[in-house]
Amino acid sequence: MSSSSQGDSTLQGRKIIVGVSGGIAAYKSADLVSKLVQSGIEVRVVMTSAATHFVGTATFQALTGKPVVTELLSDPAYPLGAHVELAAEAQLMCIAPATADYLSKVAHGQADDLLTTLTLAYPGPLLVAPAMNSDMWAKPAVQRNITILKEDGVHLVGPGTGWLSCRRTGAGRMSEPVEIIDAIHKRLPSDSQ
């Protein structure tokens, strides 16, 4: 399986962005990022402010060997803006977890933080892994946003059904990292273009 191979030569040098929005499932994103890096993919992590309350930036910096970006305009490493420079470099963008808030903002073209601004500026394939409480996932407004995103060409992986942090079993559980990686590999070009 491509997701479990370390140093896959067809993936060497591929560049992706992993966006982490503020949900408890952010802990799974560390495993996702680690596995992507092990497969030879260069990963840049962008986090919302809320995400940093669940997993610290130091975790992702250690896993990727690269700085984590959290602010829209304050990073001197990106004189043109992180949303412009990161968007120009990546071959795929994956949001895991994608909260109801993130999905709503992107479905309606809002850009009030780095992650949503970067999403709107990014011209390539976008893969989102929704994660939320089952009651939230079932809401008609959330399902309308999912429909809009699919119509806009956004690729979804999950959510799954299982144990949720609200101590119930139901739909809304973020897909496991191996499932997300398989979805990434299906959409990530294997050549330099």
Active site residues: 166
> How far is the C-alpha of 60 from the C-alpha of 101, rounded, in Å?
22
Residue 19: C-alpha distances to residues 138, 140, 150, 183 (Å): 23, 25, 18, 15
Residue 1: C-alpha distances to residues 11, 79, 161 (Å): 13, 40, 23
Q: C-alpha dihedral over 7, 12, 14, 15, to 10 degrees?
A: 70
Token duo for residue 153: 């060409």
> How far is the C-alpha of 79 from the C-alpha of 43, rounded, in Å?
20
∠ CA 43-49-50 to the nearest 5 degrees?
105
